[in-house]
Amino acid sequence: KAGVTQTPRYLIKTRGQQVTLSCSPISGHRSVSWYQQTPGQGLQFLFEYFSETQRNKGNFPGRFSGRQFSNSRSEMNVSTLELGDSALYLCASSILSTSYTDTQYFGPGTRLTVL
Amino acid sequence: AQTVTQSQPEMSVQEAETVTLSCTYDTSENNYYLFWYKQPPSRQMILVIRQEAYKQQNATENRFSVNFQKAAKSFSLKISDSQLGDTAMYFCAFISHQAGTALIFGKGTTLSVSS
């Protein structure tokens, strides 16, 4: 079974631009979560989607948004990019989101650099 | 607030040796799950091992085992017969009903295995 895939793997943007990242979960998985990884803050939860609905949200500004499609693929959007948004963005999928007991499996990440 | 602490930023070990990575957490909940994830230089986050808090038996996966001390809120990872491929950053993570679907990560421990 194929793992979680993320595209693109690398992105370079300038301040003020917006960016869209994509995540395809493991086949059969219906929940997709997004995390931001930076050297200073470590790994932080952004949000989680299940059945096209945002079920959980971390403490990030409204510039960070996402959505999920009927095939469970998810996109994350960051508008008005700031230098501090430079990070590795990780997507994780799990079978269900109705239980915290489901293990999350991660994709390879998208490295975003904001200049 | 629930927190995860990894007190060892870096560790080094020789091939074939055994190493133990430490993790402590803080929660008022009784039911939760703990994980160790490995992130090699490729940046792909890989699940190493998972422990259910209600199980007293420590989880094991081949060369990897945990020492779960619920009363002490401690969850250490032991790697036996270390291999060069074990070189990676290791993250301890926590999830519970209160946290919803958001994994809470420690800051990580960088493990270097040398020959």
| pLDDT score at B96 | 86
| Cβ–Cβ contact A6 with B under 8 A | no
DSSP assignment of B16-72 equals T--EEE--EEE-S-S-EEEEEEEE-TT---EEEEEEETT--SPPEETTEEEEEETTT
Nearest chain A residue to B50 by CA: give it.
Answer: A103
Give me A87's structure tokens: 């990070």
- Tens digits of residue pLDDT in B11-27: 999 999 999 999 999 99
| Residue B108 φ/ψ, nearest 5 degrees | 95, 155
Determine, for residues B100 and A35 on separate chains, whether the beta-carbon distance falls below 8 Å. no
Determine, for residues B101 and A42 on separate chains, whether the beta-carbon distance falls below 8 Å. no
- Tens digits of residue pLDDT in B83-106: 999 999 999 999 987 777 789 999
Determine, for residues B101 and A31 on separate chains, whether the beta-carbon distance falls below 8 Å. yes
| Cβ–Cβ contact A45 with B under 8 A | yes
Nearest-by-Cβ selection for A58 from B42, B44, B102: B102
What 3-state DSSP class applies to B105?
strand
Nearest-by-Cβ selection for A100 from B99, B106, B107: B99
Host H or E run for residue B114: strand B109-114
Determine, for residues A48 and B100 on separate chains, whether the beta-carbon distance falls below 8 Å. yes
| Cβ–Cβ contact A33 with B under 8 A | yes
Determine, for residues A43 and B97 on separate chains, whether the beta-carbon distance falls below 8 Å. no
| pLDDT score at A100 | 67
* pLDDT tens, per residue, chain A with 115 residues: 789 999 999 999 999 999 999 999 999 999 999 999 999 999 999 999 998 999 889 999 999 999 999 999 999 999 999 999 999 999 999 987 556 678 899 999 999 999 9
Nearest-by-Cβ selection for A42 from B45, B46, B108: B108
Determine, for residues B103 and A43 on separate chains, whether the beta-carbon distance falls below 8 Å. yes
Determine, for residues A100 and B44 on separate chains, whether the beta-carbon distance falls below 8 Å. no
Nearest chain B residue to A41 by CA: give it.
Answer: B107
- Tens digits of residue pLDDT in B28-69: 888 899 999 999 988 889 999 999 998 889 999 999 999 999
CB B108 within 8 A of CB B89: yes
